[in-house]
Amino acid sequence: MAERAARGGRSGDMTPVVDLTRERGTGPARSRRPLYVDLLAPCGGACPAGEDVAGWLGLCQAGRYREAWERIVADNPLPAVHGRVCYHPCEEACNRGFLDAPVGIHAVERFLGDLAADEGWPLPAAAVPSGKRVLVVGAGPGGLAAAYHLRRLGHEVEVHEAGPVAGGMMHFGIPAYRLPRADLLKEVRRIEAMGVRFRFGHRVEDVLAEQAAGAFDAVFLAIGTQAARHVDIPARDAARVLDAVSLLHDVGSGDPPLLGRRVVVYGAGNSAMDAARTARRLGATETLIVYHRDRAHMAAHAFEADEALAEGVKIRWLTSIKAISGQDLTVERVELDPAGRPQPTGQVETLRADAVVLALGQQTDAGFLRGVPGIALREDGSVAVDGQLMTGHPGIFAGGDMVPGERTVTAAMGHGKLAARHIDAWLQGGRYVPPARPALAAFELLHLPVFSDVDPAAQPQRAPAARTRDFEEVVAGLDEAAARREAQRCLSCGTCYECDNCFAACPETAIVKLGPGLRYDVDYARCTGCAVCFLQCPCHAIEMVPEPAAPGE
């Protein structure tokens, strides 16, 4: 491991990445020269919200917590929320995972979000007023992100929301044991304090009339997926049958249904896991998830299933519900064909349940847009948009769960931010072109020193037996010492952090220190192109580039 880390290769590949015969040069015959670069860390490249993860981790590890939080909210105004509910694809991409374990990015983000709430740090002030007004339909994650970024750009923003509070499915779909409502509300209020106006209990039925009445220059649609998909299961005098969306919504509204002692949940997505865990908290003593495929094909994240199992939920794989009659469920054993599709076996049996919860996915209810000229709806209810996230009707944009793509809180936040950029450019008569992304600082590019493995900080959790008694938060946050130590595990992939390795290693004293925070420069009159600085840079913030041609050549 140590030799692999030092040479920058993956496990099982002991071949040096660098060909020194190609990289080295000497004196006037130098063919390559070092150049300081900034590459994209894999964590930032994987973040659907586009956060500068390595940047704010670097500030956090230096104890500059407010600056770190401000770096996050430049892209995402809800770090305390995301530190709890994001499925953190950044950690799946983290280069540290090749050494011991990924950096606990979500835990550090939660620490910063909670600290900001405790300290009362305000969001950045809005820009100079633009004189433009934008209507945002829906106060879920996509709508909140769009409203926030549009307000920062100087536009007047009004959010129309059918529900009684902001948050959308964050409030009515994610159980409180994962996202306490007080933490969500604190971050929403911060957006409101910027001057974003909310109109609750107002369902938009005619978007063009709404736009005209409010003299809005543009509209962003972000109503989310709050309609459950249904399946045709024959039912006669059935036990109570409801869908997961309605169950979670009613619980989030403070009006939980009576489910009884035995509850069957049909499906194996994240909502199914939430519904099953919620049923346990509502008093069910027997909660069974039934799913027509196996664990390898479930839509839920593995840790969601693990947490459900730890709380006493049982899962029956390769089983489908054929019919419901009273409290009797006829289920059939299925087998997966080579393509992974379930096929009936004819082997049936009967299960008993007081309630059946259908958790087979959600879809957008965008029927109110059918009469809008130019707007096209897809079969799944999503809205067709162009590269600017604009629908076929000029000035009406859509994002989040309303458009095809990944349907997560963080993806919706990223859509909201991107839509704000496109709307801002459109209002100015232009077109937003996202900046080119730097090359990725892959693990193979790093020249890591030899170091001992460092255990990641573990977030405390309530004991499984205690969790099902109430809806109190299951996972606790990190304290300051643990959060800072976790941030210090970051390898700063692709970004210079002024470790002085290049400065100390250069045999020709060609590396020039420019001062704290200013990094370095190269005195090419002294540099021989030996590539020692390149080889000593742990994070690949130096590249060896071809020597430019001399004048006249």
Please tell us whether the domain made up of 44-121+448-486 is placed in CATH 3.50.50.60.
Answer: no
What is the rounded distance in angstroms from the CA atom of residue 46 to the CA atom of residue 42?
6
Host H or E run for residue 148? helix 141-152
d(Cα 118, Cα 488) in Å, to the nearest integer? 23
Burial class (CB in 10 A: 0-12, 13-18, 19+), 250: middle
Question: Where do the domains of the chain lie?
Answer: 2-38+496-546, 44-121+448-486, 133-226+364-427, 231-360
Q: CB under 8 Å, gap of 24 or more: what pairs does 229-235 form?
A: 229/360, 229/361, 229/362, 229/363, 230/358, 230/360, 231/266, 231/358, 231/360, 233/321, 233/322, 233/323, 233/324, 234/322, 234/323, 234/324, 235/323, 235/324, 235/325
φ, ψ of residue 522 in degrees (nearest 5): -115, 130
Give the pair of three-digit tokens for residue 66. Answer: 């407010």
Matching CATH topology for 2-38+496-546 and 231-360?
Answer: no
Query: How far is Cα 539 from Cα 42, in angstroms, rounded to an integer?
Result: 12
DSSP assignment, residue 40? B
Q: Which two tokens stand for residue 155?
A: 């536009």
Q: According to the CATH classification, is domain 133-226+364-427 in 3.40.50.300?
A: no
The per-residue pLDDT string of the chain (553 residues; one tens digit each, 9 = 90 and over) reads 233 233 333 333 333 344 444 444 444 568 899 999 999 999 999 999 999 999 999 999 999 999 999 999 999 999 999 999 999 999 999 999 999 899 999 999 999 999 999 999 999 988 999 999 999 999 999 999 999 999 999 999 999 999 999 999 899 989 999 999 999 999 999 999 999 999 999 999 999 999 999 999 999 999 876 655 666 676 666 668 888 988 999 999 889 999 999 999 999 988 999 999 999 999 999 999 999 999 998 988 899 999 999 999 999 999 999 988 888 999 999 999 888 889 999 999 999 999 999 988 766 677 788 889 999 888 777 888 999 999 999 999 999 888 877 778 999 999 999 999 999 999 999 999 999 999 999 999 999 886 656 778 889 999 998 999 999 999 999 999 999 999 999 999 999 999 999 999 999 999 999 999 899 999 999 999 999 999 999 999 999 999 987 665 5
pLDDT attached to residue 548: 86
Handedness of CA 221, 222, 223, 224 (dihedral sign): positive
Dig out the tokens for 152 from the structure: 């920062």
Neighbours of 174 (CB within 10 A): 23
pLDDT of 225: 67
CATH fold of 2-38+496-546, please?
A: Alpha-Beta Plaits (3.30.70)
What is the pLDDT at residue 361?
A: 73
Query: What is the structure's pLDDT at 519?
Result: 95
Instruction: Round to whole Å and give the CA distance between 284 and 289.
Output: 13
What is the model's pTM? 0.88
35, β-bridge pairs: 543
Task: From 160, 128, 158, 149, select the one nearest 78 (Cα to Cα).
Answer: 149
Q: Could you say which architecture CATH assigns to the domain 231-360?
A: 3-Layer(bba) Sandwich (3.50)
* 3-state DSSP assignment of residue 333: strand
Task: Sort 474 into a burial class: Cβ within 10 Å, 0-12 / 13-18 / 19+.
Answer: buried
